[in-house]
Structure 1
Amino acid sequence: MSSEYRNFLELSYEELEELNLKAKDQRKKRVDPGKIQEERLKWLTDNKGVKAVTVLFSDLEGRLHMLDYDKKFLVNSYDNLTFDGSSIRGFTAQRESDLRLGLDWSAFYYTPADIFGSGKVLVFGEVIDKNGGHYSGDLRGVLKSYANEQFAKNGYALNAANEIEGFLFEGIDAERNFAKTGEFVYTNQGGYYHSLPGDPLREFIDLTAEVQRAMGFENEKDHPEVAPSQFEINYTYGDVVTAADQIQLYKLICRQVANQMGMTASFLPKPVTGVNGSGMHTNVSITKDGKNLMWDPAGEEKISKFGWEFVDRILTAGNDLCLLLNASVNAYRRLDPHFEAPNQIKASATDRGSMVRIPIGNEKSSRVEVRSVGPDANPYMVLYSIFKTGLDGKTAQIENLRQAERYLPDNIYTALEDFRSAEWATELLGADVKQRYADLKQASADRCPRLLGTIVKDCEVQFHHDVYNQLLWGQF
């Protein structure tokens, strides 16, 4: 189809970075939402080359959904964007299907035309129930409300940074085709920190990093990981909702770049046996009036009493939270002690098999790292459960809690039993959302062998919530 007559907006990566960093700074400084909304609507109206606004939201399992609204329609109807919630896995029943999308204008991204299409921008949506309040199944809204509550009540700013690992495999839709091929084909076997300039893995990492930079991620470092064809592309910390949004965008960007290269970016926690799996190490800190509350130069491992109390509550609820942090059948292959897996409910500055690690830090960077998180978990649910547990949870009377010999489940069925019986999980999510989430995980688990065995099974890939489409989920 000819593009001769088209004139849609296409900005350089340098212009995009400038615009996205400005938007990010407004978000960081908590600029009045009404002012940001007015500014965004004016920009959309004035820029004739913008044809559509992509609105993003996530379902209960963390699967990303996208709707494109015509720019002119959205500018006039942004306060009444309805959709059918009964079509979204884990959302409303058919009898109460009407939901609305409110726009979080602060979470607005100017996008590269060669990745997302010309004339498009992105904005994250908030799911609104029929009564006009935040929908309980939308964990982004739950996380945002909790973060705002902590800031208003205690002056706490919740910060997070995530190290998200993934694999790059040959071929488009390698995960969907796994049932036919029975294997994933590596694009590179160089290993940790090693990939020759110009080879497919290095080219993929470089292109993805360029897109992230243009979208205001503020990159830090990127490199091949331990396993063949494994990668990690790191960027700076942000406020907790921005951090969760960026996890969703990170995976979306990786998949899109890989697809354009004729490859697949996979975030299965353990797609190949015999090599290291992929994690999403989650680094968290809390500041108040610009001071890092995790830091104490005289404290144990230079962590404050406040920080250690936060850790103790996480360790207490380790088994209660496991299904939220390790959300799929495949995730329990990663919790294998033979591959530096963080399956011990311990805290340590050095032992990478511990659920919680205390990284080396200073007054600015001091933090707590929760290592037992799979890259396929719902990022909003992960960060909400970690912060709410760390701040509001209970501490168990267990002797030597931080080093006691306790282990995370090695299969999803045990994790489900722990989650269903956990009072703390009910307090976190509410009885209704807890039940819905458990039922979704049970349905996926029941389609897979109870015992994992040593070989990755077709079903744990096929029924992985990050992979397949609505057609398959409609069979549940």
Structure 2
Amino acid sequence: MEDKIGKVIQEIERCGTKFVRLQFVDIHGTPKNMAVPLVKPDDMEDILKDGLLFDGSSVAGFVNINESDLIIKPDPETFSHLPWRPEEKGVCRFICDIYWPDGKPFEGDPRYILKRTLEKAKNDGYEYNVGPEPEFFIVEKDEDGRIHPHDNGVYFDVEPVDQGTDMRRELVLGLEELKFEVEASHHEVAPGQHEISFKFDDALKTADAVITFKQAIKAIVDKMGYLVTFMPKPFFGENGSGMHCHQSLFKHSENLFYDPEGKNQLSQEAMYFMGGLLKHSPALACVVAPTINSYKRLVPGYEAPVYISYGLKNRSTLVRVPASRGKGTRIEFRCPDPSCNPYLAFAAMLEAGMDGIKNKVDPGEPVEIDVFGLDESGLEEMGIKTLPSSLWEAYHALEKDEVIKNALGEHIYPQFYQLKRKEWDDYRIQVFRYEQDKYLQI
């Protein structure tokens, strides 16, 4: 640790960094931060070793006012400069962990929840990797304040229809400055919709990366005069934005999901892990698709993964196994969206998969037909159920699932559950233009 701290201080001194941002997320996954001015680089040493005291009672899902003191402590592994801030007297950033004043990890810190889950898997010899594919819209506002897609491009379009080529170029360059290994970028299916995919990594590093990714893209595009939204379904009649999550388990640098002698070259661990994801998917939905708007995306007809089944290359199923084998063998869970808290989402997915392995949950046979084309009788005949169709259904499914509740922990689960109930209650008492148009003449 001393060596890591020394290297960070040297880099701060070399770059003439004036401000340091200490960043964490609340229960929703919303980034929070405080900016600390550095009189001299060595000021950072005390902060890295001891952290700073702050009021946790004003942060969603943290603590009550009578227990408000918490410690924010930077993780030196997450040090980076912010490329969208001025270079002179620039700004660096650390992602932080939260502690009680006595030095114990704070159980309401979403990052701690994922670290705890990963440590549990590590004790059993497993390393958990995640590769997310967060989609987003670039939008602009008209004179009336309504948002519109910034272009009319569709999947894999090129200029001039795709108006986002230069934007994605700037985004990729900015992300590379933040040490992202970008694999590809392209226009997505809906007008104004884009995807930039980055390389899979350890789940904690990936969760940190998702938060950084969203913050960076919003900041960079804002300088171009546009807005970025990770809202799952911003426009009626168009595909929504997902965050498909590719997952794998490693042990001793070997991919445990790959078995050259297994059926479809998949190991028994891979099959059971899928079984766990499918078994717990109704409750998982509340964590990985956590908003009212998430369930406007998860409806039939827009390539949305609503059917609880798995396929080998089938994009109409909830779980998919891409064709790559060997070290690239992975399981893709398709219902998460970018509104989720990635720390909680990855922890819950891992716990679901590990429960599948522990209890040898059989996922059944793969579904290799287009499930989108089945009617209700066809789905019933094949025994295929659907994900919750609303946040109300999802949080009730979560309420009944001890594995996913335990994944969130005794501090976060009750607060998360109550927040979802309140979100639904706030929504259901609203009266929308649709209802006025439809029912006003009754």
Q: TM-score if structure 2 supplies the norm length?
A: 0.87
- Which one is further off, 384-393 or 397-406? 397-406
Instruction: Indicate conservation of the 8 Å contact 2:280/2:404, yes or no.
Output: no
Structure 1 residue 34: Cα displacement: 4.1
Distance in 2 between residues matched to 1:456 and 1:244, nearest whole Å: 39
> Which residue in the other structure is 1:40 paired with?
8
Aligned counterpart in structure 2 of residue 160 of structure 1, from 97, 122, 130: 130
Instruction: Check if 1:415 corresponds to 2:394.
Output: yes
Tell me, in whole angstroms, the C-alpha distance in 2 between the residues paired with 1:48 and 1:350: 47
**Aligned pairs (5 A) from 1:1-400:** 33-44=1-12, 46-47=13-14, 49-71=16-38, 72=40, 73-78=43-48, 79-112=50-83, 114=85, 118-151=89-122, 153-171=123-141, 181=145, 183-196=146-159, 200-393=163-356, 395=359, 400=364
- How far apart in 2 are the matches of 1:184 and 1:144? 38
Distance 2:86 2:243 in 1: 24
Cα 1:308–1:80 change in 2 (3 A) is same
CA separation in 1, counterparts of 2:322 and 2:171? Answer: 27
Query: One-letter code of the match for 2:97?
Result: E
Q: Partner of 2:258: helix, strand, or coil? A: coil
Paired residues of 2:298 and 2:304 also in contact (CA < 8 A):
yes
1:409-459 per-position Cα deviation (integer Å, ceiling 9, x unaligned): 1111111111122222332223332110011112222121379999699xx
Assess, with a 3 A threshold, how the Cα gap between structure 1 residues 125 and 399 changes in structure 2: closer, same or farther: closer
Cα distance in structure 2, aligned partners of 1:359 and 1:443: 38
Any unmatched runs of 5+ in structure 1? 1-32, 458-476
Report the TM-score, using the length of structure 1 for normalisation: 0.81
1:375-408 Cα shifts (integer Å, max 9, x gaps): 1000001111111221135659789486631111
Q: What are the Cα deviations for residues 58-99 of structure 1, in whole angstroms up to 9, with x where unaligned?
A: 111111112111234433343131111111011101111111
Aligned length: 416
Task: Supply the RMSD in Å over aligned alpha carbons.
Answer: 2.6
Cα distance in 2, alignment partners of residues 184 and 113 from structure 1: 24
Q: Percent identity?
A: 27
Partner SS state of residue 71, structure 2? strand
Partners of 1:141 and 1:370 in 2: how far apart? 23
Distance change >3 Å, CA 441–CA 38, structure 1 → 2: same
> Which has the higher mean CA deviation after the structures are superposed, 324-333 or 361-370?
361-370
Matches of 1:155 and 1:108, distance apart in 2: 28
Change (3 A) 1:416 1:51: same
Question: Equivalent residue for 1:474?
Answer: none
Per-residue deviation, 1:147: 1.9
Matched-pair contact (CA < 8 Å) for 2:278–2:363: no
CA contact (8 A) 1:317 1:389 kept: yes
Give the whole-Å Cα distance in 2 for the aligned partners of 1:141 and 1:60: 12
Report the CA distance between 1:328 and its aligned residue.
Answer: 0.3
Q: Extract unaligned runs of 5+ from structure 2.
A: 368-382, 437-442
